[in-house]
């Protein structure tokens, strides 16, 4: 071994000796030592000392983060000095000349963007605001974390969407609706005096990916949250979040004026109700001067709303919007509404909201789920996207995996988010993507946003499954820039999360070849694989009743027709699928004619959506040449096989990563494999009672019968 090599080897061992155990708590902010010797030399020569400009809690947060990051990455304290060569602050505080950062660039980055540039021996992280400075600092750290060169930096970043918000479905008793990672992280009992250090780490994680809003409490709302007893607790959280650029939002219970205000009505046109909300909003701003506004679920799944008083959604939303307007607050009014009626559930949101386009106040956004039913493993985009040009639309994605395995399945949702964002609504001709509806460019809206239903709980690793942190990460990264590639985000997350976590040294090359390449592929296919073993070819809503855990396509005992699985798959002796063409429910007519024509024609409808929109005979010939039944078998069996392949890769990866997370994921993959088989067997055995066809020759046969699966009960399934 040459002296140089020996040195590198010893250095490596030295660093490894100092690494603490990995348990997932640090998320993607691990700041482990840079081991690439060439890069380390580069970083050490270019990062000599730091000059921070400005004084604010946000600048302090940036300083603290950079310190923490550099200490971990470079294993040394980089001094702060007025003459530092890393110059960080707002352009105004730094007092930069035009030759370093042009006014034009500064203008282009807006309130939250930043510039990272090199000039002579200096590196500049510059923004218009302190929060831009913090975002730039996180970006700079990410460059080092991912071993990128910091020579000749020329980065200009700004978010494409203004309000990037996490919606928690956490109840005041700490139960998380559709949460699978333990209790709520909000410890209401001990707030406001006990500030769990997690709150700050949560804020750091969010800021690092650009999330700038949090609605901490369930949309199935509780009026208590707006009482002084809770407002003081919420204020304490808001105080922790503020330096990280995170605004606080609350879910507003529409009947709060009755429940906590002692009024007789919550009618939005009643002056006493309007006054009550105005006073309440003023009071909230006393606690939280930069309060963001309300998220509202009204007249949906039993929640109160304006319709109880013969008023429509716009009248309800506008009342709240008026109360918030003076303070600059906004309303995010959800379009997730459907009632028990003969009409296809797919059509309800559109039918109720489309006619209200143009009737909402300027500070109202209509919050639309990615698809028309409910966060299924795959849904075509919601027909409201592109169809309410006068109203700012905020898409809502589900980061938590209610319908995607309830946090025991390794499934990356970045590809799901991206699939929806890339969908073309054709509202203004080809290229009118959902992303353009979201970023306001399609219809010229200034008010823009995106919401994600959080998958965070008090589990040590935050998200229950080590890999599901990737979905929080991907949501934030895409919220900031929807043009990013979902695969690249997955790779970035993988590297940040796992690199250099193994117990024995491995070369970067070996890590890249044997961990990064296969795992990136696995992440990138994971959602499609899940669709295959759960709901292939456009099947949807065939999960367990109420708790939504596991397969139960036989459910026909729901208290409402649209809570039955049979309502959605419509399997019978003639075939399977929901006819939403003009011959059926005609939900397709809600899309732009170009979209509806493509989806209506069986020849052009993507097979991924075919049973979503069509009822097809069991013998229908698919593109593969197989008949529909055999295609279903092919998909279900293929889905299970893909989980088994993932297991094989994973089992070979132990030497590249830490033991704890390796073992956790290994066990979870065992669960996933069993559940994939469960989904496959239960669904095929059930659908077989209609198709009367045998499971394709050559496949392993289900080892249990249909009754076995039908008799499984889960009264204590989590998240319910």
Query: Residue 339 interacts with ligand GCW (CB under 6 A)?
Result: no
Residues 6+ apart with CB under 8 A from 407: 180, 181, 400, 401, 455, 463, 464, 465, 468
Rounded least distance, CB 169 to ligand GCW, Å: 5
Q: Could you tell me which of 670, 606, 684, 669 has the C-alpha nearest to residue 638?
A: 684
Query: Residue 180 interacts with ligand GCW (CB under 6 A)?
Result: no
Of the pair 375, 568, the CB lying nearest ligand GCW is at 375
Query: Residue 379 interacts with ligand GCW (CB under 6 A)?
Result: no
The answer to whether residue 290 is catalytic is: no
Query: Residue 138 interacts with ligand GCW (CB under 6 A)?
Result: no
Query: Residue 169 interacts with ligand GCW (CB under 6 A)?
Result: yes
Q: Could you tell me which of 188, 266, 176 has the C-alpha nearest to residue 229?
A: 188
Of the pair 160, 219, the CB lying nearest ligand GCW is at 219
Out of 336, 498, 554, 629, name the contact with ligand GCW by CB under 6 A.
336
Under a CB-based contact definition with an 8 Å cutoff, are residues 256 and 303 in contact? no
Helix (H) or strand (E) holding 436: helix 434-438
Q: On the CB side of 281, how many CA atoms lie within 13 Å of its CA?
A: 25
Helix (H) or strand (E) holding 125: strand 122-127
d(CA 149, CA 167): 36
Out of 44, 105, 220, 508, name the contact with ligand GCW by CB under 6 A.
220
Under a CB-based contact definition with an 8 Å cutoff, are residues 576 and 633 in contact? no
Under a CB-based contact definition with an 8 Å cutoff, are residues 325 and 293 in contact? no
Q: Residue 178, class by beta-carbon neighbours within 10 Å (0-12 exposed, 13-18 middle, 19+ buried)?
A: buried
Residues 6+ apart with CB under 8 A from 657: 22, 498, 501, 502, 515
Out of 140, 241, 375, 618, name the contact with ligand GCW by CB under 6 A.
375
SS3 call for 357: coil
Tokens of 653: 């990866």
Query: Residue 568 interacts with ligand GCW (CB under 6 A)?
Result: no
- The one catalytic residue in 177, 270, 322, 374 is 374
Of the pair 199, 375, the CB lying nearest ligand GCW is at 375
Of the pair 699, 714, the CB lying nearest ligand GCW is at 714
Rounded least distance, CB 399 to ligand GCW, Å: 13
Q: In residues, how long is the chain?
A: 720
Rounded least distance, CB 402 to ligand GCW, Å: 6
Of the pair 177, 196, the CB lying nearest ligand GCW is at 177
Query: Residue 549 interacts with ligand GCW (CB under 6 A)?
Result: no
The answer to whether residue 22 is catalytic is: no
The answer to whether residue 301 is catalytic is: yes
d(CA 230, CA 191): 9
Strands 50-52 and 154-157: unpaired
Query: Residue 294 interacts with ligand GCW (CB under 6 A)?
Result: no
Of the pair 567, 699, the CB lying nearest ligand GCW is at 567
Query: Residue 346 interacts with ligand GCW (CB under 6 A)?
Result: no
d(CA 638, CA 643): 9
How many residues touch ligand GCW under the rule CB under 6 A: the total is 11
Rounded least distance, CB 322 to ligand GCW, Å: 25
Under a CB-based contact definition with an 8 Å cutoff, are residues 265 and 258 in contact? yes
Of the pair 297, 347, the CB lying nearest ligand GCW is at 297
Of the pair 326, 340, the CB lying nearest ligand GCW is at 340
Query: Residue 558 interacts with ligand GCW (CB under 6 A)?
Result: no
Rounded least distance, CB 638 to ligand GCW, Å: 27
Nearest residue to ligand GCW on Cβ basis: 374
Query: Residue 714 interacts with ligand GCW (CB under 6 A)?
Result: no
Out of 168, 178, 313, 580, name the contact with ligand GCW by CB under 6 A.
178
Rounded least distance, CB 560 to ligand GCW, Å: 13
- The one catalytic residue in 26, 42, 170, 402 is 402
SS3 call for 424: strand
Of the pair 168, 436, the CB lying nearest ligand GCW is at 168
Q: Residue 370, class by beta-carbon neighbours within 10 Å (0-12 exposed, 13-18 middle, 19+ buried)?
A: buried
- The one catalytic residue in 301, 572, 619, 705 is 301
Under a CB-based contact definition with an 8 Å cutoff, are residues 354 and 388 in contact? yes
Under a CB-based contact definition with an 8 Å cutoff, are residues 381 and 425 in contact? yes
Write the interaction track for ligand GCW spanning residues 400-429; mark x where CB under 6 A is met and - where it is not: --x---------------------------
Cα–Cα distances in angstroms (integers) from residue 12 to residues 172, 176, 231, 500, 502, in the given order: 48, 43, 50, 10, 12
Strands 114-119 and 122-127: antiparallel
Query: Residue 397 interacts with ligand GCW (CB under 6 A)?
Result: no
In our burial notation (b when 16+ CB lie closer than 10 A, e otherwise), range 274-312 reads bebbbebbeebbebbeebbbbbbbbbbeebbbbbbbebb
Rounded least distance, CB 24 to ligand GCW, Å: 26
Query: Residue 333 interacts with ligand GCW (CB under 6 A)?
Result: no
Tokens of 218: 């369930």
Query: Residue 374 interacts with ligand GCW (CB under 6 A)?
Result: yes
Of the pair 177, 201, the CB lying nearest ligand GCW is at 177
Rounded least distance, CB 143 to ligand GCW, Å: 37
SS3 call for 351: helix
Q: Could you tell me which of 75, 9, 18, 6 has the C-alpha nearest to residue 503?
A: 18
Rounded least distance, CB 716 to ligand GCW, Å: 16
Query: Residue 85 interacts with ligand GCW (CB under 6 A)?
Result: no
For helices 414-422 and 517-534, angle between their N-to-C axes, nearest 10 degrees:
70
Of the pair 400, 653, the CB lying nearest ligand GCW is at 400
Rounded least distance, CB 564 to ligand GCW, Å: 15
Query: Residue 313 interacts with ligand GCW (CB under 6 A)?
Result: no
Query: Residue 219 interacts with ligand GCW (CB under 6 A)?
Result: yes
Rounded least distance, CB 425 to ligand GCW, Å: 22
Of the pair 538, 719, the CB lying nearest ligand GCW is at 719
Query: Residue 547 interacts with ligand GCW (CB under 6 A)?
Result: no
Rounded least distance, CB 301 to ligand GCW, Å: 6
Query: Residue 247 interacts with ligand GCW (CB under 6 A)?
Result: no
d(CA 686, CA 629): 12
Out of 60, 64, 177, 673, name the contact with ligand GCW by CB under 6 A.
177
Out of 233, 242, 297, 313, name the contact with ligand GCW by CB under 6 A.
297
d(CA 167, CA 251): 9
Show which residues are catalytic. 301, 374, 402
Residues contributing to the site for ligand GCW (CB under 6 A)? 169, 177-178, 219-220, 297, 301, 336, 374-375, 402
């Amino acid at each position: 071994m040459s002296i140089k090599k020996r040195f590198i080897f010893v250095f490596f061992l030295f660093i490894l000796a100092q690494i603490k155990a990995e348990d997932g708590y640090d998320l993607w902010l691990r700041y482990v030592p840079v081991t690439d010797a060439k890069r380390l030399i580069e970083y050490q020569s270019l990062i000599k000392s730091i000059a921070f400009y400005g004084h604010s809690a946000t600048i302090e947060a940036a300083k603290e983060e950079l310190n923490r990051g550099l200490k971990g990455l470079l294993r040394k304290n980089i001094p702060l000095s007025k003459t530092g060569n890393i110059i960080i602050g707002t352009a105004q505080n730094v007092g930069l000349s035009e030759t370093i950062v042009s006014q034009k660039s500064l203008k282009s980055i807006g309130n939250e963007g930043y510039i990272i540039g090199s000039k002579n021996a200096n590196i500049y992280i510059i923004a218009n605001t302190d929060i831009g400075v913090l975002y730039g600092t996180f970006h700079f750290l990410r460059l080092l974390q991912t071993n990128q060169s910091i020579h000749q930096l020329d980065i200009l970043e700004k978010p494409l969407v203004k309000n990037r918000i996490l919606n928690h479905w956490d109840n005041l008793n700490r139960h998380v609706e559709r949460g699978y990672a333990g209790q709520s992280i909000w410890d209401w009992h001990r707030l406001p005096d006990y500030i769990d250090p997690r709150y700050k780490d949560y804020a750091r994680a969010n800021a690092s990916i650009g999330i700038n809003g949090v609605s901490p409490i369930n949309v199935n709302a509780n009026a208590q949250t707006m009482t002084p007893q809770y407002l003081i607790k919420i204020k304490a959280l808001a105080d922790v979040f503020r330096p990280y650029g995170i605004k606080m939002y609350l879910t507003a219970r529409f009947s709060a004026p009755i429940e906590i205000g002692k009024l007789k009505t919550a009618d939005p046109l009643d002056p006493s109700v309007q006054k009550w909300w105005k006073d309440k909003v003023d009071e909230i701003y006393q606690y939280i001067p930069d309060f963001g506004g309300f998220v509202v679920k009204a007249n949906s799944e039993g929640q109160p709303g304006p319709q109880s008083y013969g008023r429509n959604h716009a009248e309800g939303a506008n009342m709240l919007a008026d109360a918030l307007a003076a303070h600059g607050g906004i309303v995010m009014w959800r379009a997730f509404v459907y009632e028990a009626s003969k009409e296809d559930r797919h059509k309800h949101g559109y039918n109720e909201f489309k006619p209200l386009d143009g009737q909402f106040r300027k500070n109202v956004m209509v919050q639309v789920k990615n698809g028309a039913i409910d966060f299924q493993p795959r849904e075509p985009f919601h027909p409201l996207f592109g169809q309410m040009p006068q109203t700012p639309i905020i898409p809502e994605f589900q980061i938590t995996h209610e319908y995607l395995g309830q946090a025991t399945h390794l499934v990356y949702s970045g590809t799901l988010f991206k699939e929806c964002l890339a969908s073309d609504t054709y509202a203004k001709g080809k290229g009118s993507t959902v992303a353009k509806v979201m970023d306001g460019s399609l219809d010229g809206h200034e008010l823009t946003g995106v919401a994600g239903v959080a998958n965070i709980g008090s589990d040590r690793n935050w998200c229950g499954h080590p890999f599901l942190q990737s979905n929080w990460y991907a949501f934030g990264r895409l919220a900031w820039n929807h043009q990013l590639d979902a695969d690249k985000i997955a790779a970035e997350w993988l590297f940040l999360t796992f690199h250099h976590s193994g117990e024995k040294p491995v070369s970067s090359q070996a890590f890249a070849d044997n961990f990064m390449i296969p795992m990136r592929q696995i992440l990138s296919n994971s959602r499609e694989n899940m669709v295959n073993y759960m709901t292939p070819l456009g099947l949807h809503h065939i999960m367990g009743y109420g708790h939504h855990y596991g397969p139960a396509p036989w459910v026909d005992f729901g208290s409402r027709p649209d809570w039955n699985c049979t309502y959605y798959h419509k399997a019978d002796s003639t075939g399977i699928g929901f006819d939403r063409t003009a011959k059926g429910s005609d939900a397709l007519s809600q899309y732009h004619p170009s979209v509806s024509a493509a989806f209506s024609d069986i020849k052009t409808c993507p097979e991924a959506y075919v049973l979503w929109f069509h009822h097809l005979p069991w013998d229908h010939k698919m593109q593969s040449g197989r008949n529909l039944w055999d295609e279903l078998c092919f998909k279900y069996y293929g889905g299970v096989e893909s989980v088994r392949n993932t297991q094989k890769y994973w089992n070979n990866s132990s030497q590249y990563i830490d033991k704890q997370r390796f073992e956790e994921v290994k066990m979870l993959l065992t669960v996933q494999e069993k559940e994939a088989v469960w989904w496959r067997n239960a669904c095929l055995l059930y659908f077989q009672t209609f198709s009367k066809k045998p499971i394709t020759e050559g496949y392993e046969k289900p080892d249990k019968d249909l009754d076995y699966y039908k008799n499984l009960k889960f009264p204590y399934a989590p998240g319910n």
